[in-house]
Chains A and B, each alone.
Chain A
Amino acid sequence: GENVEQHPSTLSVQEGDSAVIKCTYSDSASNYFPWYKQELGKGPQLIIDIRSNVGEKKDQRIAVTLNKTAKHFSLHITETQPEDSAVYFCAASEGNFNKFYFGSGTKLNVKP
């Protein structure tokens, strides 16, 4: 089955700096890669996703890049703000089958 690895496990940045979280996957059949943000005591919220026919996608301060050949994808957050502090999870899915495989999570701390 699919194996998703996520790094780093924790990340501290100064407010205004950029943050990058990286994930790798093992199954070349995976073709959909969402990113979720989870605040303490809450369920994960979808923040951005990318499909395998696209190399990059941006939504304001958030961007995701995908390298299918190397089987890795990354989340980029620019101009970080304290409210970006949360745990971020990447996931991979072979779209037709619905099932998501999650990374282990990255705790992002944005220091004011």
Chain B
Amino acid sequence: DAMVIQNPRYQVTQFGKPVTLSCSQTLNHNVMYWYQQKSSQAPKLLFHYYDKDFNNEADTPDNFQSRRPNTSFCFLDIRSPGLGDAAMYLCATQGRINEQFFGPGTRLTVL
């Protein structure tokens, strides 16, 4: 089945230790998004790609970086995670009517 896959589902890291979250899609969609969602809050857009064109949100901290080596894969790199970065990280792609298809998310814990 065509889908958006995120690995790992749960990630534990230490304060300040770099971590990479991965996302892959079999939908062949041009647009991919990364969101951060904290408990009982709306998903917050960090950045998105239109093909290889990278678009950073103005309030996304420099601590967050992203790579998209090809259509299928997208990575979120957190260079120096702080306690405030503990959250669910959601990857999504954009469909034909601009609906977004979300992956299952990666829940990040920072110790």
The finding on whether chains A and B are genuine partners in a shared complex, rather than unrelated, reads no
Residues of B within 8 A of A (CB): none
Residues of A within 8 A of B (CB): none
